[in-house]
Amino acid sequence: MVIVDKEGTRIHASVGEQLIKKFDDKLREGDAIVLQLFKVYDATGEYRTTPHPYKIGFFHTTFIGIADDFPSAVPE
């Protein structure tokens, strides 16, 4: 998936197969969320979803909550 912050910066994020059921009901396209306790990796490989040099990986302890003050529109 691609996550975007309030400045419009996009970064690739992935949930490992063993964690899909844990996060499936918490991640919906278009939702504004708070994401805590994740890992940042170098983005390597030929296929890249964003030009960002890093990517986010989820752990069993990763927290996802509702973001109350996220802007309704983000820059392209």
pLDDT digits (tens, 9 = 90+) for 8-59: 899 999 999 999 999 999 999 888 889 999 999 999 888 889 999 999 999 9
Residue 65 CB neighbours (<10 A): 10
pLDDT of res. 73: 67
Calpha distance 6→71 (Å, rounded):
7
Q: Range of 28's domain? A: 2-66
What's the total number of domains in the chain? 1
Of residues 21, 62, 6, the one with CA closest to residue 39:
62
Sign, CA dihedral 56-15-46-11, equals: negative
Per the domain annotation, does 35 fall within a domain? yes
pLDDT of res. 56: 96
